């Protein structure tokens, strides 16, 4: 069954015609790139012994399924570049470690880039909360430059990456969510999957997050026990997490109603 009319194809392994790679601009047969790394689907979700499906908060209404969120974004070389960081993230999660290497900033930046790119290609501009096309492109360019050349720049400190551990229990690890949020002073993309919450700043007038414990610098680091500091930005994330949990409970309640019938 062809799904060519849909801009978003579910599953992986499909290929599309020659186009410009969204990261390096090379003409290539673009891969159906995972917005959230594929190990997450394979290891956390597709294992039906552990519950199978996840609650997908990336769309309205939220749904329950086991499909990956993919989009034709990258050439083979760029896919490999991201794959190395995705694998490092997988080892980090699998080993249950707190300490990470310089790869973490690259991984987080790649996630934020993928999410913002995906939003800019698939969503109504109104869902970007008043952030202009120019600002979106400037942020994407900044992250893209770092992903391609791996050099820290002053510009990067305007669009920082933040990492949070968002719940180890299996029930919560079944939530996936991509969002563009605005806490009044900060506009950011947020990806929630597995034990990770990754936020990338698109625009902010609030300085507090620059010194937040959640901020990633391009060096080795350690996941703090509690990432949530007393800033509007982090309060916004806490509210978002609570909303995810609320919707997870609503889905569970729906399941109980269905199974009781």
Can residue 21 be called a binding residue for Zn ion (CB under 5 A)?
yes
Would you count residue 147 as binding Zn ion (CB under 5 A)? no
Per CB under 5 A, does 78 bind Zn ion? yes
Q: Tell me if 19 contacts Zn ion by CB under 5 A.
A: no
Token pair recorded at residue 65: 């399924």
Choose the stretch contacting Zn ion; rule: CB under 5 A; options: 51-59, 77-85, 119-127, 138-146.
Answer: 77-85
User: How many chain residues touch Zn ion (CB under 5 A)?
Assistant: 5
CB of 80 to Zn ion, least distance (A): 9
* Nearest distance, CB of residue 218 and Zn ion, angstroms: 22
Burial of 184 (0-12, 13-18, 19+ CB in 10 A): exposed
Cβ-based nearer residue to Zn ion, 81 or 203: 81
Considering only residues 37 to 76 of the shown chain, the ones binding Zn ion according to CB under 5 A are 75
Cβ(100)–Cβ(220) below 8 Å: yes
Question: Rounded to whole angstroms, how far apart are CA atoms 6 and 205?
Answer: 37
Q: Which of 8, 19, 24, 135 binds Zn ion (CB under 5 A)?
A: 24
What minimum distance in Å lies between the beta carbon of 110 and Zn ion? 12
Long-range pairs, 184-189, Cβ under 8 A, ≥24: 184/232, 185/232, 185/233, 186/232, 186/233, 186/236, 187/128, 187/129, 187/130, 187/131, 188/233, 189/112, 189/115, 189/116, 189/119
Binding site for Zn ion (CB under 5 A): 21, 23-24, 75, 78
């Amino acid at each position: 069954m062809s799904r060519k009319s849909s801009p978003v194809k579910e599953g992986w392994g499909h290929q599309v015609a020659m186009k410009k790679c969204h990261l390096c601009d090379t003409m290539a047969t673009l891969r159906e790139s995972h917005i959230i790394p594929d190990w997450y689907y394979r290891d956390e979700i597709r294992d039906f012994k552990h519950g199978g499906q996840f609650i997908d908060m990336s769309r309205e209404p939220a749904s329950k399924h086991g499909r990956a969120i993919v989009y034709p974004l990258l050439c083979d070389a760029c896919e490999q570049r991201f794959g190395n960081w995705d694998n490092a993230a997988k080892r980090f999660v699998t080993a249950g470690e707190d300490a990470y290497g310089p790869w973490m900033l690259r991984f987080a930046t790649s996630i934020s880039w993928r999410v913002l790119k995906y939003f800019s290609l698939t969503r109504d501009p109104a869902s970007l909360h008043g952030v202009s096309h120019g600002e979106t492109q400037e942020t994407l360019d900044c992250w893209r430059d770092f992903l391609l050349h791996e050099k820290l720049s002053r510009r990067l400190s305007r669009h920082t990456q933040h990492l949070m551990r968002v719940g180890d229990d299996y029930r919560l690890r079944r939530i996936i969510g991509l969002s563009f949020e605005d806490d009044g002073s900060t506009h950011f993309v947020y990806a929630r999957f597995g034990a990770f919450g990754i936020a990338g700043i698109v625009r902010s007038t609030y300085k507090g997050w620059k010194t937040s414990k959640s901020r990633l610098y391009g060096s080795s680091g350690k996941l703090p026990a509690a990432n949530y500091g007393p800033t509007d930005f982090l309060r916004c994330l806490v509210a978002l997490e609570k909303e995810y949990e609320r919707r997870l409970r609503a889905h569970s309640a729906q399941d109980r109603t269905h199974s009781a019938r």
